[in-house]
Amino acid sequence: MTSRFAQWTVDVHDVRRQAEFWSAALGYEIDYGDDGDAHLWPPDGGLSVWLQPTDVPKNGKNRDHPDLVAADGDVAREVDRLLALGATRTDVGQTGDEGFTVLADPEGNEFCVLHRRLPPAAPSR
């Protein structure tokens, strides 16, 4: 038996703003909870996102982060779209030769846009 990723959980200050950003970035539906959180559901049953409120400040670079790919393969256009949604370019020590672009969401949580297409579907077992 093995485990599988089911959800990416992020502590955030402004749940509504972060939900709007990540929902638009990923094409997910927002389900606001009764306790101030938000769950974002993918249309295809993939990895969900849970945004939970916190008062704790973010300190330094995230030790983990999501890597995104442009669904249509146009990385430059996808980076521009994410920037228009509220992402910012951020420097975590990259040299410029990497196979990804580093961005941050509106609260400074880093993520990458990989410079490659979606991987082929995994064979079923």
* Mean pLDDT per 10-residue interval, the chain, length 125 residues: 91 97 97 95 93 92 90 94 98 89 96 82 56
**pLDDT score for 1:** 87
In this structure, what DSSP letter does residue 76 have?
H
Give the per-residue pLDDT at 118. 65
Q: For the whole prediction, is pTM greater than 0.85?
A: yes
Q: Collapse the DSSP code of 53 into the 3-class scheme (helix H, G, I; strand E, B; otherwise coil) and give the result.
A: strand
Q: How many whole angstroms separate alpha carbon 22 and alpha carbon 26?
A: 6
Q: From the CB of residue 116, how many other CB atoms can be counted at a distance below 10 Å?
A: 12
Which tokens sit at 61? 């670079």
Domains of the chain in start order, with CATH, are 1-57 (3.10.180.10), 59-119 (3.10.180.10)
Q: How far is CA 115 from CA 36, 46, 67, in A?
A: 35, 21, 10
Q: Looking at residue 80, what is its pLDDT? A: 98
